[in-house]
């Protein structure tokens, strides 16, 4: 199983065996975090981080990951570079990708909803960089997928529910919120957890449908694993018997208009659904479910403080897992020293 040079843009592109390899190495890296076993894998090597959008955990975790592997993560912002766009002249993706490939051993890109003019443009841009790069390209979150977050989620569920997740029920539920979030974390959760055999219930109010292509992927994965998949529109129905609850706001399919992301309109619309909040009353309907969330948590809208900070919340474990998963991905795709 040789992963050297592989891009990670969507987990659906990797085999289940490859995903498990990443998670198992991450688990070992967590156990032996600062041992000599892993601290020189990227010695004197640079990982470039291309941030169209700001972040908290993504930048911190990738920088820490590179450092703990003995390398360096370099922060880059497109606004400070002369790149060609629809509105300006500059360096093409082909040229930028080829030059970056001469400087570093890997490139990460983060591009979300308000930096694009239509859904899918962010994912398209990352794939174009991957086309021309001769180094691995890692999706640090685009408008469609968030592979490192999905892997971190599964790592957390394996720790708390056991390594076999088949037959466990995940409730992926829309939450009221004031952040107008993209679909990437939610869609990643659907496709990766269905790969691992979980029963999936997707719950949202009418008008908050996700990407039909991702829904078809999820149905396919569930069918392959003899798992259940259902969509409900009742705020409480999905909680019944759930082992995991993932409550997160996401934008509507109408978020883009004339090439612009209408954040204010999306927030105004979402804030009308005050009953779509994960609280202790609804959690009592579950099978003593874990609460997960990729953060930042919109407390008081997506979820109450009692749940987010409760004993069954593993949000901080999953946030930490981002570091270990990313170390694992970087080592397996960029190090040339670790044997699969």
Regarding the domain delimited by 160-314, which CATH topology (the fold level of the hierarchy) does it fall under? Rossmann fold (3.40.50)
pLDDT in tens, 15-30: 999 999 999 999 999 9
Q: Which residue has the higher pLDDT, 258 or 145?
A: 145
What is the mean pLDDT of the segment spanning 316-339?
A: 90
Average pLDDT (273-283) is: 97
Domain with CATH 3.40.50.1370 in the chain: 11-145+319-334, 160-314
- CATH class entry, domain 11-145+319-334: alpha beta
Give the best-scoring range by mean pLDDT among 83-87, 187-191, 253-257, 260-264.
187-191
Residue 339 pLDDT exceeds 50: no
For the chain, what is the mean pLDDT? 95
340 vs 5: CA distance, rounded Å: 13
Which pLDDT value is given to residue 88?
62
Count of beta carbons in the 10 Å neighbourhood of residue 44: 9
Q: How far apart are CA 180 and CA 268, in angstroms?
A: 9
User: How confident is the model at residue 86, as a pLDDT?
Assistant: 59
Which ranges constitute the DSSP H helices of 225-314? 263-270, 280-283, 305-308
Phi first, then psi, for residue 254 (nearest 5°) are -100, 20
pLDDT at 84 over 70: no
DSSP code, position 261: E
Q: How confident is residue 338, by pLDDT bands cut at 50, 70 and 90? A: very low
Angle at 219 between CA 216 and CA 225, to 5 degrees: 145
Q: What integer is the mean pLDDT of 134-141?
A: 98
Over residues 198-215, the pLDDT tens digits come to: 999 999 999 999 999 999
Burial class for 134, CB neighbours closer than 10 Å (0-12, 13-18, 19+)? exposed
Predicted pLDDT of residue 78: 84
**Mean pLDDT across 282-305:** 97
What pLDDT score was predicted for residue 340?
41
């Amino acid at each position: 199983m040789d992963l050297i040079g592989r891009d990670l843009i969507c987990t659906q592109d990797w085999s289940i065996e490859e995903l498990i390899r990443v998670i198992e190495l991450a688990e070992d890296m967590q156990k032996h975090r600062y041992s000599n076993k892993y601290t020189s894998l990227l010695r004197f090597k640079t990982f470039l981080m291309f941030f169209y959008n700001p972040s908290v955990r993504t930048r911190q975790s990738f920088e820490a990951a590179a450092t703990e592997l003995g390398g360096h993560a370099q922060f880059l912002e497109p606004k400070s570079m002369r790149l060609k766009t629809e509105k300006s002249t500059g360096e093409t993706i082909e040229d930028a990708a080829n030059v970056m490939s001469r400087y570093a051993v890997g490139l990460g890109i983060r591009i979300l909803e308000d930096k694009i003019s239509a859904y899918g443009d962010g994912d398209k841009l990352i794939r174009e960089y991957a086309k021309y790069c001769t180094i691995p390209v890692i999706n640090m979150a685009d408008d469609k997928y968030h592979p490192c977050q999905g892997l971190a989620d599964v790592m957390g569920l394996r720790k708390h529910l056991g390594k076999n997740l088949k037959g466990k029920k995940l409730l992926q539920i829309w939450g009221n919120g004031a952040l107008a979030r993209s679909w990437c974390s939610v869609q990643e959760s659907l496709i990766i957890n269905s790969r691992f055999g979980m029963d999936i219930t997707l719950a949202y109010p009418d008008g908050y449908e996700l990407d039909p292509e991702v829904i078809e992927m999820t149905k396919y994965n569930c069918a392959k694993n003899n798992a259940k998949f259902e969509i409900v529109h009742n705020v409480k129905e999905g909680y019944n018997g759930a082992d995991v609850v993932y409550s997160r706001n996401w934008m509507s399919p109408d978020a883009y208009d004339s090439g612009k992301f209408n954040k204010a309109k999306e927030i105004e619309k979402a804030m009308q659904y005050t009953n779509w909040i994960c609280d202790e009353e609804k959690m009592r309907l579950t099978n003593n479910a874990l609460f997960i969330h990729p953060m930042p948590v919109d407390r008081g809208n997506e979820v109450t403080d009692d749940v987010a900070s409760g004993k069954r919340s593993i949000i901080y474990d999953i946030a930490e897992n981002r570091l270990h998963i990313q170390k694992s991905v970087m080592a397996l795709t960029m190090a040339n020293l670790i044997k699969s």
